[in-house]
Structure 1
Amino acid sequence: MSAVERVPWPALPTDARGAVERHLTGPYTVREMATYNSGVAVLLEFADGARVFVKGVPEGHDQVAQLDGEERVNGFLPLSCPRLLFRLKAAGWDFLGFSGLAGEWADFGPGSTDLPAVASMLSEVGDCDVTGLRLPSLWESYRQWCDPADEVLFQGSTLLHRDPTASNFVVSEGRAHLVDWAWPSIGPAWVDAFIWAFRLVVDGGQEPHEALRWASRVSGWKSATPAALRVFSQAEARSWAQSVEEAPGDEVVVALATAAEKWASRWA
């Protein structure tokens, strides 16, 4: 998937900003948000305390597929996840607008008081009723890095976020809110917990045994098997290795690929 150039909110075409503003309630201030996946990502804050998060990419960009996925899944998510307020296209841009959140990104470090709330949020997602929701299966996303015989290990009927990083949880008043549903999938119940464990090590500097202890608090974890963890971790490592080939100068991607290879070796 090709990268999208970041554009500050004031640099957008006037007609694009105007189309968004027609969905807003009045004057606002702009906070630019860090993200890899959007050309525009801003939190618009209003005098009454209301917030709207807007993300967008140029029309026709291959990352429009991520906006499609977020739009499709939103109505099936727990109520603690931001609600989709609008989808619009204007002046060559494609936007999503969500209810904004007050809070801070989760702390994944040892002893963090955010971790119980994150585990609870992942369990809540795993319990979502996805009847009627059409999303790619996990196998569709990982088959290129697996043996065909491994398909059975990727089967399941649970809603997956697939990117439970520290910056995708906003914590407020003791509750974690899971955001940025760019890659929703359907698959085994243990997957998000396992990826979270990896991110606890990478983002939070936790020891692997502590990370897995936290993962075990997510309800879907109990269905994990050693064979599934081995195959999935190897597929993740191969996918990150491919990302390095596509973006060899990206230090973040290189570091994640190295960490993923080390994580996979633990399950070999």
Structure 2
Amino acid sequence: MATIRIVLDRLPPAARAAVEEHTGPLLTVDESAEGFNSEIAARVTSATGTWHIKGLRTDHPRAWTQRREAAVAPFLTGLAPALRWRVETAGWDLLGFEALDGHHADYAPGSPDLPEVAALLRRLSETPCPGIELRHAEQRLEHYATHPDDLRFFAGTHHLHTDLNNANVLVDDHTHRGDRARLVDWAWATRGAAWLDAGYWVIWLIAAGHTPASAERWADEIPAWHTAPPEGITAFAAANANVWSEISDADPDPWTRSLATAATAWHEHRRAG
């Protein structure tokens, strides 16, 4: 369920003042309509720069997502916007990220963004997991796998994003090709097998109009995908069909239903093949 958004001007004065210790007096505040997890989400400018601010109350049920993003940020150079500062005061936890210019990735068949996302996932799949506390992929999927033995396919030592929603991928309109995409929103960062993010991408590609076979051809662009045994990919597809079925049953709306349909289509494709 989406978090209720609060405009930056409604922050306690002490929290606003703490932000401006890092930014200087704010000149513009552009509240963001994107994202589901933050109470504060805004692009702000001052005389000294531009930042994207994300924030939650420290007593919010998902306050852990702020801590997770702050913990993983130092290990994401070239993969995500840099975290410039963090403020914890007056009951708020606020993160100030490098503000990126660009657009949300278009996952539709034929989109010029697809090679950029594939290049991003290649870089990510080569990134070892930092020595910080993260959930393991096999833990996250243990209640959804068809067979307990399937969980061994998901274990690994790589740093995963796991939420390949196209709104979480920003493509710079000016940077040179092959290094234009960045991932935002690392709340669900996970430790696991290097190929899993390519698998998560497959589901979103199908939801964007790809056939399961076409989506898997894009996954083929990521070398780590070739390390996955076919039965492991099928097990992953089955587990995610169960995940999205549960999500869409609990919170039915067009986007959850489309992801549930995509995940089921992928699983059926794997079983038929």
TM-score, normalised on structure 1? 0.90
- What are the ranges of 5 or more consecutive residues in structure 2 without an aligned counterpart? none
Deviation string 1:124-182 (CA, Å, 9 cap, x unpaired) is 11112335233211011111112322221111111110012211111112411111111
Following the alignment from structure 2 to structure 1, what is the Cα–Cα distance between the partners of residues 130 and 217? 31
Q: Say which is worse superposed, 172-181 or 88-97, in terms of deviation.
A: 88-97
| SS at 1:244 equivalent | helix
| SS at 2:205 equivalent | helix
**Equivalent residue in structure 1 for 2:262, among 248, 259, 263:** 259
Letter in 2 for 1:68: R
**1:217-236 superposed matches below 5 A:** 217-236=221-240
**1:62-101 superposed matches below 5 A:** 62-101=61-100
Equivalent residues of 2:130, 2:159 under 8 A apart: no
Following the alignment from structure 2 to structure 1, what is the Cα–Cα distance between the partners of residues 216 and 15? 45
| SS at 1:88 equivalent | strand
TM-score, normalised on structure 2? 0.88
Sort the Cα spacing of 1:241 and 1:100 in 2 relative to 1 into closer, same or farther, 3 A: same
| SS at 1:159 equivalent | strand
Deviation string 1:49-89 (CA, Å, 9 cap, x unpaired) is x3211111121222112122211111111334211122222
Following the alignment from structure 1 to structure 2, what is the Cα–Cα distance between the partners of residues 30 and 182? 24
- Corresponding position of 2:40: 40
**1:1-268 superposed matches below 5 A:** 3-33=2-32, 34-46=34-46, 50-146=49-145, 147-172=147-172, 173=174, 174=177, 175-203=180-208, 205-248=209-252, 250-268=253-271
Aligned pair count reads 264
Structure 1 segments of 4+ aligned residues over 6 angstroms from their partners:
none
Letter in 2 for 1:207: T
Following the alignment from structure 1 to structure 2, what is the Cα–Cα distance between the partners of residues 180 and 23? 22
Equivalent residues of 1:78, 1:124 under 8 A apart: no
| SS at 2:143 equivalent | helix
Identity of aligned residues (%): 36
Q: CA deviation at 1:47?
A: 5.5
Letter in 2 for 1:152: R
